[in-house]
Amino acid sequence: MKAHTLENLIAEYLEHVKKATDLLECSFGTKNILRLWRTDKIPRCGKVNGDVTYELHGIGCCVYLSEICIDFDYGPDGRVDGFDAWRLYMFACELPCKYKKYTNKESLEREFNEYLKKGKAKKIEGSTSNLYFIQP
């Protein structure tokens, strides 16, 4: 059986964000639909296609895919590959059978901080974003 590590959780979270933002791009012509909402071109909540819906909030979006809800914030320059402990925790709670260990917020935060100390993810310098990005 494959171990469900923090790196697996981050990778699967980012895969789902990509799937969600690809659907947004197909429907709206852009992955970052915040500007469309803020200029009243689309409602704050709506349908992407089929049974997929979205809900915009602050600097992010929640996309309800048929199998899971994925919540992400848009990063600097419209990036969608950022994450933080809170979003990973919420994602783990969507898949409790797979990521049970990370449905404990304190446990996830402890491991996330260790991950950051190893330099595996960093914030973008000069950015006000709270998101972390995987370091190449």
- What is the pLDDT, as a whole number, of residue 93? 96
- What is the pLDDT, as a whole number, of residue 2? 55
Task: Give 12-63 pLDDT, tens digit per residue.
Answer: 999 999 999 999 999 999 999 999 999 999 999 999 998 999 999 999 999 9
Task: Give 60-114 pLDDT, tens digit per residue.
Answer: 999 999 889 999 999 988 899 999 999 999 999 999 999 999 999 999 999 999 9
- What is the pLDDT, as a whole number, of residue 129? 81
- What is the pLDDT, as a whole number, of residue 1? 45
Predicted TM-score (pTM) of the model is 0.93
- What is the pLDDT, as a whole number, of residue 3? 65
* DSSP letter string, the chain: -----HHHHHHHHHHHHHHHHHHHHHHHS-S--HHHHHTTSS-SEEEEETTEEEEEETTEEEEE-SS-EEEEE--GGG----B-HHHHHHHHHHSTTTSGGGGSHHHHHHHHHHHHHTTSEEPPTT-----BEE--
